[in-house]
Structure 1
């Protein structure tokens, strides 16, 4: 019998990890408290972009993948990885999912086991929050009795080039022995492992990565607003700047930021700085303000475009292309496109949308999902490109739509306005 790995959370982070571990020879127990998820996984139906149904079928047939809601299945584990979400609640880090996982796992820890946290959180969470829960519930101590590590997830849903196996994995431990155990585990899962000196460094690493993106997206978002008012094509300027081979990284504007990371993770860092040091993290707070208001700016620009065509937003049919928070992904939670749809609905627009990547079994509430046919597009008063999935026929969209407001620079023409 192989080593037993428990993966708590079977979402966009935990499920790819579970599948990769099965192929690496682990006996994997996936735990998720969402019964709908468990039912689909047991039917070999994936809801995660990076895991297809065939991979689930193979995992089940191997006899080395068990998924359920019962922590009793995790008994006698060798390694456990916690990949539960860490949302914000009224601007404060919400660690309830980590706490629940820690309390449920603690009685099952035996001497020599390894527990690794992957959930994105503020520096100090693993040692100051998770460690006491595990020790109190198990009656054991780390690092004396069991090993404790942290490794930030770096999953980019829908990215065909960079996936779990070939993305370098940062690893850390509460001591040298825990670091070694954590490193040894991930060396069986991924190609490259990057050890760091402490849990806090690894925790900060993840927040730095996402704060970097968040701040730079806010920069180009605000720049796009002012460039449009100055009569300058910001997209052409970005293309020109992108020819510089050093000292520049390309970021593009859009309707806002969404998903599990960018709207949340930088606020974890801001909260930690404020709580521990008493200072405001001004870059993060400014980026939050800019990106949070982009859906409103998109609606404002759309209203201006309809006015120029002698139409009011109330009663107009508005067709939204793309609801997911990013290109070629299917998750529309925390998506700026959903915020745009909500505002338009409140203003009285007849909102329709198309997104082939969004799960048809879980449509966004209050949004009519239709196919982006030529007939549907031609009958819309405005077509808004919010998520630029590659599967959309942009030539046809531009050709048949009376008015296209493009937030992603995919269409050109006399009937097209760009963000």
Structure 2
């Protein structure tokens, strides 16, 4: 059985390295233009080269997003951009616009093309059409059920791979085809600048009664009538694998390294456990518990088992649940002293109970009993952003381990 690919988001070079170190088989990233996450830090040409090299040196893949819907004034700049990246051994380009697909093929004839979920592929005939245009993989629309995906797989050639999202934010519009942001803020969602107005609070106003706001539900403050829960499929690894998809994709190029590490690590463990013993596979609740330790909305299984209902919406709030705080990133560890050098990410104090986790490990819990500054002087707290401190660890750690504490 060929193992399914775990595909992780990389909003910048640090996140790319974290995703790979924590178990991703491949990452997807955007350049400084033409990807659908303009708010992410994204990648300069130098960062693209370094990131691709980092992935390849570890036997992983790096896919680049070029999935905007281009306007006329984008074309000349895109042509120049393709010339600047054509010698970088990027593994695949994620594209939604047919014109951009054609341009990439002309500039980089051997490029592997993945069709973005923005192209809204929902049936096997459309998938077959794109395959004839040279597309190697279809990133399926989020609106498909497992039954539909299995039928797609049966009716398509094995040479065409399928990819589907398994974790992350859901769009209230059809796989991202949304005009709300453009209309309300003049930020074009289809060019990477979505303001997420679907998460805003709304009330009903009758035409002849301006200024009188009627709640859509019993909540008098208004209601989040377009506010979807986050997709989470970690409890359904067998169904994901057996659906026939080749790649399981995590959403979140705008998320933190803490988010990327936690989500990738949990899915890595779950997927590996399934392949180790498909018939005897048992879901472990702690994997789901790990996912809940990062900033998230309440979870849903999206369209996979049927069309979503009102239970898949959150009508009370668009706020995230944040029960844990990312407090530090390990830079190095001295086995002789048991001291770890930590880059502070949020305030920590002597006496705090923290959880420590890293690649391919389970977390452990300890109290901060010894906290030193860079000159090895005892301190009571580390309140300054990216402050360098030393902490006595109860178990060995290594670079890129992370520290979190419960709020």
Q: What's the TM-score once normalised by structure 1's chain length?
A: 0.30
Higher helix share: 1
Q: What's the TM-score once normalised by structure 2's chain length?
A: 0.31
Higher strand share: 2
Taking CA–CA contacts closer than 8 Å with sequence separation of 6 or more, which of the two structures ends up with the larger relative contact order? 2
